Amino acid sequence: MIFKCKNCGGNSVYHPEKKRMWCPHCESEDSEELIESGSMENCSNCGAPLEGVNEHTSALKCGHCGSYLILKERVEGEKRADLILPFAITKEQAVAKLKEEFGRRIFTPDTFLSHASLQLMEGSYVPFWLYNYLSRVDYEGRATRVSVSRRGNTEITETSHYHVVRKMEIPFQRIPVDASTRMADDVMDLMEPYEYEALLNFEEKYMSGFEGEVYNFSSQGGEERARQKASRDSEQFLSSTIGGYTTNTTIHKNINLEKEKSSFALLPVWVYKYDFQGKEYLYHVNGQTGKVIGKTPTDNKKGLLYSATVGGLILIACQCINWITGVF
């Protein structure tokens, strides 16, 4: 399916800044019309064969005409997302974020963050499972509080012993676990947090203008990572309530996680791929908050030239300082 402009027939897309549908050809707003015809093999707009469609693709850009297409079979039934967090920053804003973070890195190749390279940046809705857990924490331990004082030439050490008990319930809401195997888990974890207040019920129009995927595995598949996150945070909550002691020994600790609900959501990420000397560098920008994740490539010739210059200048400075301090 494809969203077309009623006024000019162009491809209407969702505009993150305007927060509404927009036609980049005639600049009409909210003039979209959903055309549901089309297949998984050919572009709904120009009929050209679609490239890059895999078993999880739900939205993509036609390599021939540049139209953004949504695959109907991937947004229906059990594959239909419960929630979607629409893009809040535009491509230009994402580029600006990248330049802000990496623009001052002096060892990067000249083509890095060049206009031509950045044109290849694409926005993508990444599938996430959001889990709700009720965590029950039960703790019992022994703790000591030590104080040292001095009277004359005598050092006095006083140790108070305590029996510590904690029982608490922590309701975790929407712990995210990415359900895409092509996105690295550690990178997606660093994309967090998203501001869930902006989550909406899924509508196809938010996907127009971006790429997208359905979940690559079921809700059960992501549970282990979600439980790890909930357990880690539960431990931290527990630790935060046992402060002010010198030592702390656990007698009994139990963290029980009861799953209450899981939802399928699509969260926005801008992805920039940059190839340098045969290696692919990936940069991710949170499509809502603008948080940037990535590692800059290094042009070693540049690095050596700049570093040698620094060394040379330090050497000259040392000699000058010796000459100057020889007088004063």
**One residue of 27, 169, 185, 203 binding other proteins per CB under 8 A:** 169
CB of residue 176 vs other proteins: minimum separation in angstroms? 8
Query: In 3D, which of 139, 159, 135, 134 has the Cα closest to residue 147?
Result: 159
Amino acid at 242: I
37: contact with other proteins by CB under 8 A: no
Please identify, using beta-carbon distances, which residue of 147 and 218 lies nearer to other proteins.
147
Complex with other proteins: residue 62 or 230, whichever CB lies closer: 230
Closest by Cα among 140, 137, 131 to 236: 137
Which lies closer to other proteins via its Cβ, residue 86 or residue 141? 141
With a CB cutoff of 8 Å and minimum separation 6, the contacts of 279 are 297
Find, among 105, 125, 122, the residue nearest to 276 by Cα: 105
d(CA 184, CA 178): 9
291 makes contact with other proteins (CB under 8 A) = yes
Site for other proteins in 171-190 (CB under 8 A): 171-175, 187, 189-190
Site residues (CB under 8 A) for other proteins, limited to 226-265: 229-230, 233, 236-237, 240-241
Q: Between 64 and 225, whose beta carbon lies closer to other proteins?
A: 225
CB of 266 to other proteins, least distance (A): 18
Q: Is 201 in the site for other proteins (CB under 8 A)?
A: no
Q: Is residue 198 a contact point for other proteins (CB under 8 A)?
A: no
272/16 Cα distance (integer angstroms): 18
Secondary structure letter of residue 223 according to DSSP: H
Q: In angstroms, what is the minimal distance from the CB of 202 to other proteins? A: 21
Q: Does 127 bind other proteins (CB under 8 A)?
A: no
Residue number with CB closer to other proteins (53 or 143)? 143
Nearer to other proteins by Cβ, of 23 and 175: the residue is 175
Strand-strand pairing, 154-178 and 68-70: unpaired
Residue closer to other proteins by CB (options 6, 145) is: 145
Interface with other proteins, residue 116, by CB under 8 A: no
Degrees, nearest 5: CA angle 297-294-18: 125
Question: Contact with other proteins (CB under 8 A): which of 158, 197, 224, 280?
Answer: 158
| Run of H or E including 151 | strand 122-151
Q: How many residues belong to the site for other proteins (CB under 8 A)?
A: 76
DSSP 61-117: E-TTT--EEE-GGGSSGGGS-SEE----S-HHHHHHHHHHHHTT-TTS-TTTT-HHH
- Type of residue found at 236: Q
Q: Output DSSP code: residue 30.
A: S
Nearer to other proteins, 52 or 171 (CB): 171
Q: Stretches 74-82, 116-124, 149-157, 263-271: which one binds other proteins (CB under 8 A)?
A: 149-157
Among residues 35, 40, 120, 308, which is the contact residue for other proteins, using CB under 8 A?
308
Distance CA 6, CA 2 (A): 12
